[in-house]
Amino acid sequence: MLTAIAVATTLLFSVIGAGALFSRASALEAAQAHAEQVVRIQTIRTRLVQADADAANAFLVGGLEPATRRAAYVDGIAAASSAIARASGRSRDDAEVLAEVNESLSRYTGLVEAARANNRQGLAVGATYLQQASALLRAEVLPKLTALVNDNRARVQEKYDDSAETGTIFGGLLTVVLIALVVGQVWLAARTRRFINVGLAAATAIVMLLGTIAGAVMLWSQTKANRVHTRAYAATVELAQARIDGFDAKSAEALTLVARGSGEAYEDEFVRVAADAKVQLAAAQRIAPGARPAFDAFLGYLDVHSAIRLADNGGDFAKAVTLATSDSGANAAFAVFDKTSREELDVQSGRIVADLRAARAPLRFAGALVLLGGMLAAFAARRGVAARLQEYQ
Higher pLDDT, 70 or 299: 299
Residues 352 and 226: their CA atoms lie apart, in Å, by: 11
CB neighbour list of residue 85: distance below 8 Å, 6 or more residues apart: none
By the 10 Å C-beta count (0-12 exposed, 13-18 middle, 19+ buried), 242 is classed as buried
Predicted local confidence at residue 116, as pLDDT: 87
Residues 61 and 115: their CA atoms lie apart, in Å, by: 13
Higher pLDDT, 61 or 1: 1
pLDDT at 9 over 70: yes
Over residues 147-163, mean pLDDT: 90
Residue among 340, 352, 234, 345 at smallest CA distance from 286: 234
Predicted local confidence at residue 165, as pLDDT: 84
Predicted local confidence at residue 273, as pLDDT: 94
Q: With contact defined as beta carbons under 8 Å apart, do 330 and 253 qualify?
A: yes
Residue among 43, 45, 39 at smallest CA distance from 105: 45
The string of pLDDT tens digits covering residues 253-303 is 988 988 887 778 899 999 999 999 999 999 999 999 999 999 999 999 999
Torsion angle in degrees (nearest 10) through CA of 226, 232, 237, 242: 150
Residues 296 and 298: their CA atoms lie apart, in Å, by: 5
Predicted local confidence at residue 99, as pLDDT: 94
Predicted local confidence at residue 63, as pLDDT: 63
pTM exceeds 0.85, yes or no: no
Over residues 72-91, mean pLDDT: 91
Over residues 334-356, mean pLDDT: 93
pLDDT at 19 over 70: yes
pLDDT at 232 over 80: yes
The string of pLDDT tens digits covering residues 99-140 is 999 999 999 999 999 998 888 887 878 888 988 999 999 899
Over residues 7-31, mean pLDDT: 89
Euclidean distance between the first and final Cα of the chain, in Å?
A: 16
pLDDT band of residue 193 (cuts 50, 70, 90) is confident
Residues 6 and 179: their CA atoms lie apart, in Å, by: 11
Among 55-64, 259-268, 279-288, 317-326, which is the least confidently predicted range? Answer: 55-64
Over residues 168-182, mean pLDDT: 88
Could you tell me where the beta strands, DSSP code E, fall in the chain?
none
pLDDT at 70 over 90: no
Residue among 148, 265, 155, 200 at smallest CA distance from 9: 200
| Element of type H or E holding 369 | helix 330-392
pLDDT band of residue 231 (cuts 50, 70, 90) is very high
The chain-wide mean pLDDT, for the chain, equals 89
Q: What 3-state class would DSSP assign to 121?
A: coil
Predicted local confidence at residue 65, as pLDDT: 72
The string of pLDDT tens digits covering residues 234-255 is 999 999 999 999 999 999 998 8
- Counting DSSP H helices and E strands in the chain, the numbers are 11, 0
Predicted local confidence at residue 170, as pLDDT: 87
